[in-house]
């Protein structure tokens, strides 16, 4: 058995224990009186003008920023699901076919979790919705599925959000148990998606020489900046919906927030290290 098949077999075996995540959440327990993200995971964490606000206002921002996070998840998973479904015809053997089906089932389960959360939470994001960056959506929809750039983008899209989820989970005791459960159910599958994403990216890179890897690094560096800001910087209307007023002002504070940038860099670091080991060196975009 090839190395690739051995890895796929291992990943598939874990995925076989699948349980419907929607049935694993006690939805009525969700409360509006709790934090939905840990305070230091908010875009305005550490900003005096924000930290001086009464706790209910700060908690309310955590609700809206969590919804932003779910919308980011829906966007990324929509791209993964569409490309994975289209790629079913290209599966080279039953193991590969099963790996793709497992990923479809798991990502569909995550997106259904996010939609259900939005339904039960009772908050309306109208007008403050996350707007996916157009060129990343175009790349996600159109880049050839086995191209190194597409494969690297998948690793970034799977791994960076997963690192943020890990930070949230590390403080699960301080947030709503329903939110913690959703994060946990999501993360259970992501380590496998990252492992498979890295495997396929390393295969796609195998044929690329040093110069090609440098060019890929340049292309990816430009996309990465757009990606991390879209993911970690909520739209101005989100701050307004959360009741803070003057969204552009708050967004600017978040953009310049050193605490936020440090968190973004920490979430990026494992992926950037892995990329450097592949000969695709990228300076941190923040």
Q: Which of 193, 196, 198, 260 binds Fe ion (CB under 5 A)?
A: 193
Instruction: Select 76 or 228, whichever has its Cβ closest to Fe ion.
Output: 76
Separation of alpha carbons 195 and 154, rounded Å: 11
Residues 211-250 that bind Fe ion (CB under 5 A): none
With binding defined as CB under 5 A, does residue 151 bind Fe ion? no
Instruction: Select 110 or 163, whichever has its Cβ closest to Fe ion.
Output: 110
**Rounded-to-5 percentages of helix, strand, coil across the chain:** 75, 0, 25
CB contact at 8 A, 247 and 237? yes
Separation of alpha carbons 95 and 13, rounded Å: 10
90: burial class by Cβ within 10 Å (0-12, 13-18, 19+)? exposed
Choose the binding region for Fe ion from 109-117, 144-152, 209-217, 232-240 (rule: CB under 5 A). 109-117
Rounded to the nearest whole angstrom, what is the least distance from the CB of residue 38 to Fe ion in the complex? 20
Q: Which of 102, 110, 151, 181 binds Fe ion (CB under 5 A)?
A: 110
Instruction: Select 65 or 158, whichever has its Cβ closest to Fe ion.
Output: 158
Instruction: Select 59 or 110, whichever has its Cβ closest to Fe ion.
Output: 110
Choose the binding region for Fe ion from 41-49, 151-159, 232-240, 277-285 (rule: CB under 5 A). 151-159
Instruction: Give the other-Cβ count within 10 Å of 38's Cβ.
Output: 18
R_g over Cα of the chain: 19
DSSP code, position 212: H
Instruction: Select 107 or 176, whichever has its Cβ closest to Fe ion.
Output: 107
Rounded to the nearest whole angstrom, what is the least distance from the CB of residue 77 to Fe ion in the complex? 5
DSSP code, position 129: -
Choose the binding region for Fe ion from 5-13, 127-135, 190-198, 275-283 (rule: CB under 5 A). 190-198
DSSP code, position 32: T
> Which element (helix H / strand E) includes 96?
helix 94-121
Rounded to the nearest whole angstrom, what is the least distance from the CB of residue 160 to Fe ion in the complex? 11
CB contact at 8 A, 267 and 167? yes
Secondary structure (DSSP) of 185-201: HHHHHHHHHHHHHHHHH
Choose the binding region for Fe ion from 103-111, 130-138, 243-251, 257-265 (rule: CB under 5 A). 103-111
Choose the binding region for Fe ion from 18-26, 157-165, 233-241, 273-281 (rule: CB under 5 A). 157-165
Rounded to the nearest whole angstrom, what is the least distance from the CB of residue 1 to Fe ion in the complex? 25
278: burial class by Cβ within 10 Å (0-12, 13-18, 19+)? buried
Residues that bind Fe ion (CB under 5 A): 107, 110, 158, 190, 193
């Amino acid at each position: 058995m090839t190395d690739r098949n051995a890895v796929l077999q291992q990943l598939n075996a874990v995925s076989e224990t699948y349980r419907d995540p929607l049935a694993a959440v006690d939805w009525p327990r969700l409360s509006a009186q709790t934090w939905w993200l840990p305070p230091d995971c908010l875009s305005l964490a550490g900003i005096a003008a924000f930290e001086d606000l009464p706790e209910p206002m700060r908690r309310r921002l955590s609700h809206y920023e969590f919804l932003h996070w779910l919308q980011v998840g829906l966007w990324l998973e929509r791209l993964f699901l569409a490309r994975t479904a289209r790629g079913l015809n290209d599966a080279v053997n039953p193991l590969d076919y099963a790996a793709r089906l497992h990923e479809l089932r798991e990502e569909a389960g995550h997106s259904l979790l996010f939609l259900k959360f939005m339904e039960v939470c009772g908050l309306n994001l109208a007008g403050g919705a996350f707007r996916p960056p157009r060129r990343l959506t175009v790349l996600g929809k159109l880049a050839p599925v086995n191209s190194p750039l597409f494969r690297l983008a998948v690793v970034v899209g799977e791994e960076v959000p997963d690192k943020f989820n890990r930070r949230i989970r590390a403080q699960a005791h301080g947030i709503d148990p329903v939110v913690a459960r959703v994060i946990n159910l999501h993360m259970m599958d992501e380590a496998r998606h990252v492992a498979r994403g890295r495997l396929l990216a390393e295969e796609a890179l195998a044929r690329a020489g040093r110069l090609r890897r440098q060019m890929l690094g340049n292309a990816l560096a430009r996309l990465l900046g757009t990606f991390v800001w879209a993911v970690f910087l909520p739209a101005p209307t989100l701050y307004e919906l959360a009741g803070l007023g003057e969204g552009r002002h708050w967004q600017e504070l978040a953009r310049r927030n050193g605490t936020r940038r440090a968190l973004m860099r920490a979430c990026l670091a494992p992926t950037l290290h892995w990329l450097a080991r592949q000969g695709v060196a990228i300076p941190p975009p923040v």
